[in-house]
A and B are shown apart, each in its own frame.
Chain A
Amino acid sequence: MSRRRAWLVHLLWIAPLAAFVGSLLVGRYPLSFASLLQGLGEGSTSLAGSILWRVRLPRAIAAGLVGANLGLTGALFQGVFRNPLVDSRILGVSSGAAFGAALALLVGSPAAVQGGAFLSGLAAVGLLLLLGARFGFSPLVLVVTGVLVGAFFSSLLGLVTYVADPLRTLPAITFWLLGGLGGTRWGDLVPVAAVSTPGLLLLLALRWRLNLLSLSDAEAGALGVNAKVFRPLAVAAGTLLVSASVSISGMIGWVGLIVPHVGRAIVGSDQAKLLPASAALGATTLLVLDAIARSALPGEIPLGVLTGIVGVPAFLAVLRVFLRRRGEAR
């Protein structure tokens, strides 16, 4: 490994911490580093402390957590499906979660949005695993059933938006679908952390062995790993992370697709290094983008919109590198 690479690897771990601290400073009410420390010490008695403890800390933690989840699951799914151009949306879980959230908004219980999104995301996973158990857990079957499950829930979502009250409910649904972390409270973080942590720990513990799923099933079998059992396990753990994330952030695309490619450029393809690297990069990316989302304009830019605006050019850059490596680009 070159010295430049080694330096980048260190930066990989410092970046999310720096982005976290930085995102606490910026916003409608900018803080200096000194007032940050002071505010944290004072608690909610001062204005700075109140902003930090009530608004920015939970939101920054959510951004870090969601970004780490999206980055890690992106790397996971690209490996598990042996396809460098997929991310967590491939399994239809996001569509499932979106339907649940919209349904909760439709029946008029905004408090149930997170739970609804999560449960309905799980329903999508359940359906996917059920179909997989019937047709086999090959990458092809998982992709096809993922697309079908996603299309099914998208249609249900269409039905919900069609019947929603266009003056009150419909805007809420639309804004939720655009994705964002505005208004995240401590209480919202607890279920997400509770669901993400086991999945995250399991995947990190298995991270080297996950490499075997990016070989053919016969090769994995010859190396003593039954891909037909291991793949659904990895997919189930990954979708836990995805549905937990979507339940607080709404639909945030592109991060899970692009971050693993940047990670691969820094640490290589070994999942043992790539999973943690993608988590760190994903957290950094979302912390930075969320800080921009809430401070660039007088109003808030929906985070999902911003990731798309930044993500599409980034994707084109990734595609170019990808094609050049295969000798297909001019």
Chain B
Amino acid sequence: MRLEAAGVRFAYRKGEDVLRGVSFAVEEGEVLFVLGPNGCGKTTLLECLAGIRRPTAGAVLLDGADVHVLAARERARRIGLVPQLHEPAFPYTVLEMVLLGRAPCLRTLARPGPEDRREAERALEAVGIAPLSDRSFTTLSGGERQLALVARGLAQGARVLLLDEPDAHLDPFYQGRVLGVARELSRAGASVVLSTHDPTSALSHADRVLFLVRGTASPVAAPVEAITGATLEAAYGVPFSVLQGEDGERAVALRPRSRGTPLAPGA
């Protein structure tokens, strides 16, 4: 499905816009990375896209239809949000946690049945953590938790997945695994919007990249065009080098202000 933000504005308090007219679109099968400093409005943007927060102006369109006009459960069957990691209050099993994704597909008084269980198990297989289904969610590592929450989004039946800093606090192995799963899902037809603080993973995993700085979005562009020393410095206010290896792979490094030039020709 095509998800489009059309001039989205949002303010928690009147007159203090957190989002100042953000416009972009994610096509089916595409992974869009949102980069930007802390407090730039990434989480707010994702919550607006998910339909949890109603923009003060502008609209979020799903295949051309306003998501805030859809009934909450209709919307939740199409758009899944994976929030930033937090400690859950109770030790739900992984399967129970993923089954909660079936909530929008069930009538108010209904409880999940065998079919919902199968959907949840399929979702766990899709992200590659089926063997963990009886484990307590609280005993999982950060990376496993993140994958379980992605599975919960899949169990919703969502064709649009919004992931809020899914690679934060993860080791390089799980960073790669979570982002790889996001990419696989997009290849299977999902539209993925993912916020991150890691420009290098954007270079390797994104189809397109958007910078969000103080509530204003840059035009969407291919990663190699979007991520340069200049755009990164403009976003974060510190100097960066974009390095390129012999195989053409690029990586981003923070440049100490006092030191010299990039090791390899930067972009």
Contacts and interface: CB of A to CB of B under 8 A. Distances in A.
Interface of A: 78-79, 82-84, 205-209, 211-212, 214-216, 218-219, 221-226, 264, 268-270, 272, 325
A84 to B, nearest CB: 6
B81 A218 contact: yes
Given A206-B109, A212-B100, A268-B93, A222 B88 contact: no
B112 interface: yes
Contact of A206 (B77, B80, B90, B108): B108
A225 B129 CA distance: 26
B103 A218 contact: no
A325 B108 CA distance: 33
B96 A212 contact: no
A268 B96 contact: yes
Given A209-B103, A224-B104, A218 B91 contact: no
Interface of B: 47, 50-52, 72-77, 79-81, 83, 86, 88-93, 96, 100-101, 103-104, 108-112, 138, 156
A208 B90 contact: no
Contacts of B109: 205-206, 209
A84 B96 contact: no
Nearest to A217: B52
B90 A223 contact: no
A224 B75 contact: yes
A260 B75 CA distance: 34
A287 B90 CA distance: 28
B69 to A, nearest CB: 15
Contact of A215 (B75, B91, B100, B112): B100
A106 B266 CA distance: 84
Contacts of B101: 223
B116 to A, nearest CB: 10
Given A208-B111, A215-B100, A272-B111, A222 B90 contact: no
22 contacts: A78-B90, A83-B89, A206-B108, A206-B109, A208-B110, A208-B112, A211-B92, A211-B100, A212-B100, A215-B88, A218-B50, A218-B52, A222-B80, A223-B76, A223-B100, A223-B104, A225-B103, A268-B92, A269-B96, A270-B92, A270-B96, A325-B138
Contacts of A207: 111
Given A211-B100, A270-B96, A222 B50 contact: yes
B89 A212 contact: no
Given A208-B111, A223-B76, A224-B75, A269 B90 contact: yes
B211 to A, nearest CB: 23
B100 A216 contact: no
Contacts of B73: 224
Contacts of B112: 208
Contacts of A225: 72, 103
